Structure 1
């Protein structure tokens, strides 16, 4: 693996986590920087292969670690029969954090959760608040059912405004959507695929076009086996999909012990920013802030990398200034 940018921290490793070897990709410029653990989406969609497209400037602030979760990417290929549940992944995450704290001599780490990773990250900070400095949610999931309802209504609205009869016919063919509960069976996956394609057409969701694959192929850690892992996502993550079906963050208390920040795409209707925006107004946390990036969709950090970094730096400065004030008082 070539270290083209000459990073002082640049390595991959398999670590024994919760009984299986799991993949980590580290990149950074200074061992004194805070450690950020990136929790990818999906479940099963390892984003370590996309890191070079958005995180170079992040490493001015953080040592960034990507973890291919159980049931995803290189960890899945290493352990094809060790499949995830939500509870197992929380245990995995706890052990990954212990490994990072020890490796970098840190008391706590920073968590960034994208899409499904925002579910895992939020569950984790509820259960283990003492392990995390602060949490950053991107494509933050509040309710799976409401996500799909709001996203469906928005694309229908735009199709009607455009008098796009061809797209309206495709949307009508989906039938009732999503129903009272999201069930990730073959019928629903066919429906969601149609909805996602139309959302992509109208700039409301993530487009799985060739540009994404070109980014994947150019990754310094890409192997052809990663394509095989991608093809196994649905089957490998069946139990987590069941958990997600009726997931609603509002079913739990709205009090957190960890500062919470959201960086959301103003054109993200796959995990609609309007739902997360309303939720953040209702919670109690030591600190919280929301930044909505214009013209950014579900892949917020790739759609608007400069604006995303500005938001990240603002969060970093807010947290760091607090730490500096504490040191001065002591």
Structure 2
């Protein structure tokens, strides 16, 4: 667990959260900086192993804390039978936030949610706005069923434009997708896997590139047990997937009590940016601003790390100015 970059703040630890030991990874350059809690995607896809691939410059303006959620990463390894539900995860998140506020002597922290993390984060800030300075939704998810419909239609359009008969045959081979209801059973997940691979091929969804695997293996906190944890993700997160079946953020109030920033990939059709953009126009918040990063897909901080950091830097300056 060497601190090769000689950061002032470099902590990897297990903390007792909601009755189990949960993993946190802290990185930063100044105790004066705001504390940002990064909520990873999935559910179950811990991103703490990828900090070296996109995060180093973030640490100039934030103390960034990655939390391997219940049912993910090193927390799953430590607690293979303590599996998540949405209620447990919201309570877990509340306790993590309280822990960080106390540890760093902060009245509030910044919350960044990526993909699935943007669902968890959005629900949390509605319930506990007093704990959050502002919220950043990256690849923000709004409506699960609509996501799949729009993303499917987009990749089909691109395949037809390219006259890619082989890919079109694969797509047509899955039949109707996603249907009016998603059940996250084996049959749907098999179809979803075909769609995701084709979205990755056409650069409009998350593609597990070789460089991502290399970044994970090079992480100073990597352990071979992390691979086993990764394999267990679908089974471990069954209850959360059931919650997601009909998730639609539009069913919640459009009123927010914290500043809201959306950072979306202009080539993201896995969580289609146009859905989040339309929703964003409807919400009310003390302050809100949206950024769409060109040539960035679902993992936009990996696709365009420089532009993503520039966006974070601007958000940080806006919030600093608001405090003066």
> Secondary structure in 1 aligned to 2:106?
coil
Correspondence for 2:246: 246
Correspondence for 1:119: 119
Correspondence for 2:170: 170
- How far the C-alpha of 1:232 sits from its partner, in A, is 0.2
Deviations 1:203-260 (A, max 9, x none): 1111113221111101110000000000000000000000011000000110000111
Distance in 2, matches of 1:311 and 1:278, equals 20
Deviations 1:285-325 (A, max 9, x none): 0111110111100110010000000110111011100101x
Correspondence for 1:327: none
Matches within 5 A, 1:271-286: 271-286=271-286
Deviations 1:152-207 (A, max 9, x none): 00000011111111111000011111111221110011000000111111111111
Distance in 2, matches of 1:249 and 1:196, equals 22
Correspondence for 1:17: 17
Correspondence for 1:64: 64
Correspondence for 2:148: 148
Correspondence for 1:191: 191
Deviation beyond 6 Å, 4+ runs, structure 1:
none
Structure 1: state its 5+ residue gaps.
325-330
Distance in 2, matches of 1:213 and 1:124, equals 31
- How far the C-alpha of 1:5 sits from its partner, in A, is 1.2
Distance in 2, matches of 1:32 and 1:245, equals 41
> Secondary structure in 1 aligned to 2:121?
helix
Distance in 2, matches of 1:124 and 1:182, equals 24
- How far the C-alpha of 1:30 sits from its partner, in A, is 0.4
Correspondence for 1:75: 75
Correspondence for 1:47: 47
Correspondence for 1:328: none
> Secondary structure in 2 aligned to 1:36?
strand
The answer as to 2:104 corresponding to 1:109 is: no
Correspondence for 1:215: 215
Distance in 2, matches of 1:216 and 1:7, equals 19
> Secondary structure in 2 aligned to 1:7?
coil
> Secondary structure in 1 aligned to 2:31?
coil
Correspondence for 1:261: 261
Matches within 5 A, 1:279-318: 279-318=279-318
Distance in 2, matches of 1:54 and 1:211, equals 12
Correspondence for 2:226: 226
Distance in 2, matches of 1:3 and 1:252, equals 42
> Secondary structure in 1 aligned to 2:134?
strand
TM-score (norm 2): 0.99
Distance in 2, matches of 1:287 and 1:58, equals 22
Distance in 2, matches of 1:281 and 1:50, equals 32
CA RMSD, aligned part only? 0.6
